[in-house]
Amino acid sequence: EALERIEALEPKLHSFLCVTADRAIEQAMAVDAKIAAGEEIGLLAGIPIAIKDNMCTKGIRTTCGSRILENFVPPYESTVTQKLMDAGAVMVGKTNMDEFAMGSSTETSAYQLTANPWDLERVPGGSSGGSAAAVAGGECLVSLGSDTGGSIRQPASFCGVVGLKPTYGLVSRFGLVAYASSLDQIGPFGTTVEDTAIFLGAIAGYDPKDSTSLNVQIPDYAKNLKPNLKTRGVLRVGVISETFGQGLDPAVEKAVTKAIEVLQELGAEIHVISCPRFRYGLPTYYIIAPSEASANLARYDGVKYGLRTTDADNLLTMYTQTRAAGFGTEVKRRIMLGTYALSAGYYDAYYLKAQKVRTLIKQDFESAFEKVDVLVCPTAPTTAFKAGEKTEDPLSMYLSDLMTIPVNLAGLPGLNVPCGFDEKGLPIGMQLIGNLLREDQLFHVAYAYE
Site for ligand GLN, rule CB under 6 A = 101-104, 127, 147-151, 179, 289, 401
If the CB atoms of residues 52 and 277 are measured against ligand GLN, the closer one turns out to be: 52
Strand partners, 94: 18, 51
**Residue 430 and residue 246: Cα distance in Å, rounded?**
17
User: Which whole-number Å values give the CA distances from 377 to 55, 139, 145, 273, 304, in the listed order?
Assistant: 29, 29, 21, 11, 43
**Residue 432 and residue 268: Cα distance in Å, rounded?**
13
If the CB atoms of residues 28 and 164 are measured against ligand GLN, the closer one turns out to be: 164
- 343 as an active site residue: the answer is no
Alpha helices in 128-235 (DSSP H): 129-136, 153-159, 193-203
Q: How far is the CB of 148 from ligand GLN (least distance, A)?
A: 3
Is the backbone peptide bond immediately before 127 cis, with ω within 30 degrees of 0?
yes
**Residue 374 and residue 417: Cα distance in Å, rounded?**
14
- 182 as an active site residue: the answer is no
* DSSP letters for 375-406: EEEESSSSSPPBTTSSTT-HHHHHGGGTTTHH
**Residue 196 and residue 227: Cα distance in Å, rounded?**
16
**Residue 200 and residue 208: Cα distance in Å, rounded?**
19
User: Which whole-number Å values give the CA distances from 282 to 169, 185, 330, 335, 440, in the listed order?
Assistant: 22, 18, 17, 17, 27
If the CB atoms of residues 53 and 401 are measured against ligand GLN, the closer one turns out to be: 401
- 127 as an active site residue: the answer is yes
CB 275 within 8 A of CB 367: no
Strand partners, 95: 16, 52
If the CB atoms of residues 149 and 306 are measured against ligand GLN, the closer one turns out to be: 149
**Residue 250 and residue 424: Cα distance in Å, rounded?**
13
Dihedral of CA atoms 2, 7, 11, 14 in degrees, nearest 10, equals: 40
Residues labelled catalytic? 52, 127, 151
